């Protein structure tokens, strides 16, 4: 029950990867049959990924994964600020907002590939960063708090679409609507809008037109694809700025050079196609299983259970159940290390090395420290069954009994 950390590849995804490894080995830039076959597969995958998020094929830039895509957005925002201000200065006027450092707004519950990149830019004196806190009641961002944080030199707002620990879905559409109104102001520096959709894709509908974002991060291994990713950009280099971090052979329209990883891109395209075709089935199955899991946990643990993924007025991912079993010896890491069958995390998998500390995400959402220390992030998948839930709950019951006796 650790599907928010990663997912296995679907059999159909493995099949297209295997076929591409065998048959599409040519360099996609080569002008011969083997190269043309590889290029055709990449083009088809680009269309599939674009369709999954409601964009156009030319809006998709393939990357090594979500971390690269997120870094590319922050890098672009810095370059855009610098170039816009330089052009205004050389044009004889001063663009409103060009005094001081570029300003980035994000939340205090972002993935480290946004949070640490922004922190690094601030530490080295390249940017000012505002981390807007989520509500301790709803675990959600308040749109008014984001708007209140905007300055004349704000160049980027980056907020995740759904949180990987609590499952809370953020008000991206509302943020984008408000910011676009600000962007229409005369002489105002354009604020770029980005959302990291890693945890949302394959679980809830994601449409870039409805959201209104300039950039959206796509992470394959969260929706049964291989460990590659993509960045949606609304008209890269035309409507929306995009500046490469790497320079080389000109692939991906010069935005992300390097010979394309054809088999993994093929796998990403097939997984995207499956999401487009089956999302409602995936969503309803995961929601039913999660509800059954929560019901069984309540039945067994009664008043010792605390759900850290239940917030009034907030929509939650259909597969995410963050729960604490209350008791002095029942810290999340201790429970998981004694379970015989349950495979899960105490929070974000990339923080598991420090798993004996309460999640800063849960603390930011108003969860008391002693409750956060006992947290288990249980995330169900497409194939999770009620029998799996029964096995997990029984495993937890036995483990809790054992730890309480030892204590």
Where are the chain's structural domains? 279-406
Q: Are 104 and 128 in contact (CB under 8 A)?
A: yes
User: 35: Cβ–Cβ under 8 A, 6 or more apart, which residues?
Assistant: 26, 27, 28, 29
pLDDT of residue 264: 98
The Cα 303–Cα 283 span in angstroms is 29
SS3 call for 60: strand
Q: Which of 131, 176, 350, 365 is catalytic?
A: 350
Residue 234: predicted pLDDT: 98
Alpha carbons 116 and 351: distance in angstroms, whole number: 13
Residue 69 CA: distances (Å) to CA of 192, 231, 232, 339: 15, 6, 9, 36
Q: Please give the model's pTM, rounded to 2 decimal places.
A: 0.96
Q: Are 297 and 393 in contact (CB under 8 A)?
A: yes
279-406 belongs to CATH 3.90.1150.10: yes
- Where the chain has pLDDT below 70, the residues are 92-95, 186, 349-355
| Contact criterion met (CB below 8 Å) for 146 and 175 | yes
Q: What is the pLDDT of residue 110?
A: 97
C-beta of residue 106 within 8 angstroms of C-beta of residue 115? yes
Instruction: Report pLDDT digits (tens) over 85-112.
Output: 988 878 765 567 888 899 999 999 999 9
**Whether residue 155 lies in the annotated active site:** no
Q: What's the pLDDT score for residue 211?
A: 98
Q: Which residues are paired to 233 by β-bridges?
A: 215
Q: Report pLDDT for 353.
A: 45
What is the per-residue pLDDT across 177-211, written as a single tens digit (0 to 9) for each? 999 999 998 677 899 999 999 999 999 999 999 99
Length of the chain: 407
């Amino acid at each position: 029950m650790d599907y928010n950390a990663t997912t296995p590849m679907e059999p159909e995804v493995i099949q297209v990867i295997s076929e591409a490894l065998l048959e599409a080995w040519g360099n996609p830039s080569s002008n011969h049959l083997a190269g043309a076959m590889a290029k055709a597969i990449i083009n088809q995958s680009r269309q599939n990924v674009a369709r999954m998020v409601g964009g156009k094929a030319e809006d998709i830039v393939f990357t090594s994964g979500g971390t690269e895509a997120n870094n590319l957005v922050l890098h672009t925002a810095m370059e855009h600020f610098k170039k816009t201000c330089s052009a205004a200065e050389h044009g004889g006027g001063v663009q409103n907002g060009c005094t001081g450092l570029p300003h980035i707004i994000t939340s205090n519950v972002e993935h480290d590939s946004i949070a640490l990149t922004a922190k690094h830019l601030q530490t080295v004196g390249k940017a000012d960063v505002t981390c807007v806190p989520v509500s301790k009641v709803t675990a959600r961002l308040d749109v008014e708090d984001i708007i209140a944080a905007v300055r004349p030199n704000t160049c980027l707002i980056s907020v995740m679409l759904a949180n990987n620990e609590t499952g809370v879905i953020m008000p991206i559409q509302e943020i984008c609507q408000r910011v676009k109104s600000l962007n229409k102001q005369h002489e105002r520096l354009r604020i770029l809008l980005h959302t990291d959709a890693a945890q949302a894709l394959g679980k809830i509908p994601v449409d870039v037109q409805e959201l209104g974002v300039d950039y959206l991060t796509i992470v394959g291994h969260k929706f049964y694809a291989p460990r590659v990713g993509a960045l949606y950009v609304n008209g890269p280099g035309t409507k929306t700025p995009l500046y490469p971090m790497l320079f080389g052979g000109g692939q991906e329209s010069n935005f992300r050079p390097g010979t394309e990883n054809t088999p993994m891109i093929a796998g990403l395209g097939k997984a995207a196609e499956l999401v487009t075709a089956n999302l409602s089935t995936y969503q309803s199955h995961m929601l039913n299983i999660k509800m059954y899991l929560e019901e069984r946990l309540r039945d067994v643990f009664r008043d010792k259970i605390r759900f850290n993924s239940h917030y009034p007025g907030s929509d939650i991912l259909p597969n995410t159940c963050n729960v604490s079993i209350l008791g002095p010896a029942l810290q999340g890491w201790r429970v998981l290390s004694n379970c015989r069958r349950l495979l899960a995390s105490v929070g974000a998998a990339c923080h598991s090395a420090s798993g004996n500390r309460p999640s800063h995400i849960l603390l930011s959402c108003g969860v008391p420290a002693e409750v956060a220390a006992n947290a288990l992030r249980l995330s169900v998948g497409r194939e999770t069954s009620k029998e799996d839930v029964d096995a997990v709950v029984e495993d937890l019951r036995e483990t809790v009994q054992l730890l309480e006796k030892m204590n």
